[in-house]
Amino acid sequence: MLVKVGALRGSGASGLVLPNLLRNSSLVAAAAGPPDVLPTYYGMTTPLNGVTRDITTTGTDLYPYMDVNWAGTGSSTSSGTLMQFDSNTAIATAEAERRCASLYLSLTAGALTNVTSMKLRLRYNTAAGALLALTETDLLGVNGTPAQFVAVGGAAPATTAYVVMQIVVNWALAAVNFKLRIQGPMINSGDLPALFQATSP
């Protein structure tokens, strides 16, 4: 489900004020490269099979953000990347609890030429961090205007112990060059995105 709330503003679509379950929504420790440094607790698959990733800018524009650039030519049929906003076993979630992931995203340079898919993912995990269920929202509609994207997980299935938020991007065996501004990430309880809350390690 794609929920595109519109231009960056000071409240979530619902106007709710709820805790942000992410441990580092403020993107603390993110640094431009090369070599770049991911925010504390964050992870990203590497190598990217012919494509390089660089954090080029960090800052705050109402909400904390980082600009991440991917450039190169995919060299494998599995070329792509997965960015994870915490570990698989960090954000406790019990059976039947409901979770909503959201962030603001914009395309600040380049184009999504040869990008075959891009998703915001909310993933429910077992106590061991194994996948139980996931919800994905299409991000290919991103453009130069910051917009909010939301993935609603619904009720967590039986044996759920944790939840995590991811961006998953795949590209063809061809040149890619695009930069995304990732801003104001949030996981909150319920089925609607809440007002962004800053958290830090």
Instruction: Identify the pLDDT of residue 8.
Output: 43
188: DSSP letter: E
The structural domains of the chain, ordered by start, are 43-189 (2.60.120)
Q: How confident is the model at residue 114 (pLDDT cuts 50, 70, 90)?
A: very high
pLDDT tens per residue across span 64-96:
999 999 999 988 766 788 999 999 999 999 999
pLDDT in tens, 26-66: 999 999 988 899 999 999 876 578 898 999 999 999 899 99
- Reported as a single tens digit per residue, the pLDDT across 117-135 is 999 999 999 999 999 999 9
pTM of the model: 0.90
CA trace torsion 127, 129, 135, 136 (10° rounding): 170
More confident residue, 157 or 11: 157
Cβ atoms 183, 8 nearer than 8 A: yes
Question: Quick check: 88 and 129 in contact, CB under 8 A?
Answer: yes
pLDDT-based confidence at residue 12 (cuts at 50, 70, 90): low
pLDDT at 2 over 70: no
Local structure of residue 176 (DSSP, 8 states): E
Share in percent of the chain as helix, strand, coil (round to 5): 0, 50, 50
Q: Which DSSP state fits 75? A: -
pLDDT confidence of residue 80: 87
